[in-house]
Structure 1
Amino acid sequence: MIIIGLTGNYGMGKSTVAKMFRELGAVVIDADDIVRQLLSDYAVIYEIKKVFGDDIIQQSEINKKKLAEIIFEHPHLRISLENILHPMVFKRIDEEIAKITDPSAIVIIEAPVIFERGYQNRFDKIITVYTSEDTAIERLKKKGVLEDDIRKRLKSQFPIEMKIKRSDFTIDNTRDIENTRKQVEEIYSKL
């Protein structure tokens, strides 16, 4: 079994690439999906409320929009949130990996902040998906995300050039989808 970290910055195509790997037969685990599940867990809500206060709760749930605004405005609070969530995320990832019975499985963990939090040693290989920041911004704006919000999120992540240098493989997601798919297929065959 090989465990691959799939990363890249906001809006650069991690999810698109993860879907392609899944179609080829890889087991894909999305860290953001796990976070979404955890944000509905009462014990997690309680821990977040202790850090962020009662205002973060709306009808017994976390106001995710307000939480995002806070953490991308205040990096120290983002780290506090990550310190609450990340151990639980990795516990769930480990549980999912333990269920895999195929010793030749290729497991892709889609996670945005592998390098930012020093998690690169948890993986056998790392793939970074990239595009230009302008392309990412335009794609996200087409999805209705405000440019100011996009820039705050991108600013909270390491420069994509640094991630590219530290990765075992890179996927240039600047061109059309078929070009991206070809790169994914080439990397999959190498893995």
Structure 2
Amino acid sequence: MLIVGLTGGIGCGKSAAAEIFERLGATVIDTDQIAHQLTALGQPAVTAIQKQFGADYVLPDGNLNRSRLRNLVFSDAVAKKQLEALLHPLIKDEVCCRLAVAQTPYTIITVPLLLETGAYRELVQRTLVVDCAEDQQASRAMARSGLNEEEVRAIMACQVSRSERLRLADDIIDNHGERSELQQQVEQLHHQYLQLA
């Protein structure tokens, strides 16, 4: 089975591209969704995060204080590494479980930090980068997430530069335009991946 690592900077449209691949029949494994599931109310990862970072990172109702944790890891490199050391092995185990049962000719693994961590390089045969201009990234991310520009720019600063992402890509989706243009590019890659598989 062909395994494609889909990545891109915040606000580039990774999720939109992944949704189209899924509608076309590909298996899509989203590491952000897995991370959310692993850090949901009552999950062991929440207890581990509280133990590592303190009670302030869990809300009174037992849910993870996601905004506080996000602010910490994007302002403190050591804390970021500690959180990654906790979560990344759990996420990767779940990815491998889902790959083992995938039945489609190719699978897309959506990994925002694919190029930054290198954690999935041994699993993926191709790297697909969803790209758009940095100002567009920032405005999309602010509209979608409710983060302010400073917060979005801090996240962008922790990611591989746009030029480096493009240099490392096997395939690129240029997502600066309309949804119909994104659809067309994903369909072309879908046929290409079916042939490669």
RMSD in angstroms over aligned alpha carbons?
A: 1.3
Alignment of 1:149-188 (within 5 A): 149-188=151-190
1:135 counterpart = 2:139: no
Q: TM-score, normalised by structure 2?
A: 0.91
Tell me the distance in 2 between the aligned counterparts of 1:101 and 1:25: 10
Aligned residue pairs: how many? 189
Return 5+ residue gaps in structure 1 as ranges: none
Tell me the distance in 1 between the aligned counterparts of 2:82 and 2:10: 20
Tell me the distance in 1 between the aligned counterparts of 2:122 and 2:71: 30
SS in 2 for 1:17: helix
Task: Give the deviation of 1:101 after TM superposition.
Answer: 3.5
- Distance of aligned partners of 1:73 and 1:169 in 2 relative to their CA distance in 1, 3 Å threshold: same
Tell me the distance in 1 between the aligned counterparts of 2:142 and 2:10: 12
Return 5+ residue gaps in structure 2 as ranges: none
Identical aligned pairs, as a percentage? 30
Could you report, residue by residue, the CA deviation over 1:71-115 in whole angstroms, capped at 9, with x for unpaired residues? 01112211110111111111101111112245xx21101110011
Structure 1 counterpart of 2:11: 11
Task: Give the deviation of 1:43 after TM superposition.
Answer: 2.1
- Distance of aligned partners of 1:73 and 1:186 in 2 relative to their CA distance in 1, 3 Å threshold: same
Task: Give the deviation of 1:148 after TM superposition.
Answer: 1.1
The AA in structure 1 aligned to 2:51 is K
Maintained 8 Å contact 1:75/1:156 = no
Structure 2 counterpart of 1:98: 100
Could you report, residue by residue, the CA deviation over 1:116-159 in whole angstroms, capped at 9, with x for unpaired residues? 11132320111000101101112223333311111111111110
- Distance of aligned partners of 1:100 and 1:140 in 2 relative to their CA distance in 1, 3 Å threshold: closer
Structure 2 counterpart of 1:46: 47
Tell me the distance in 2 between the aligned counterparts of 1:171 and 1:161: 14
SS in 1 for 2:116: coil
Shifted more, 79-88 versus 114-123: the winner is 114-123
The AA in structure 2 aligned to 1:47 is A
The AA in structure 2 aligned to 1:184 is V
Alignment of 1:16-165 (within 5 A): 16-40=16-40, 41-59=42-60, 60-102=62-104, 105-119=105-119, 120-143=121-144, 144-165=146-167
Tell me the distance in 1 between the aligned counterparts of 2:103 and 2:18: 21
Tell me the distance in 1 between the aligned counterparts of 2:189 and 2:97: 26
Where has structure 1 moved over 3 Å in runs of 4 or more?
Answer: none
Tell me the distance in 2 between the aligned counterparts of 1:29 and 1:134: 28
Task: Give the deviation of 1:32 after TM superposition.
Answer: 0.4
The AA in structure 2 aligned to 1:109 is I
Could you report, residue by residue, the CA deviation over 1:7-57 in whole angstroms, capped at 9, with x for unpaired residues? 001011000000111111101111000000111254212221222112111
Q: TM-score, normalised by structure 1?
A: 0.94
Tell me the distance in 2 between the aligned counterparts of 1:174 and 1:36: 28
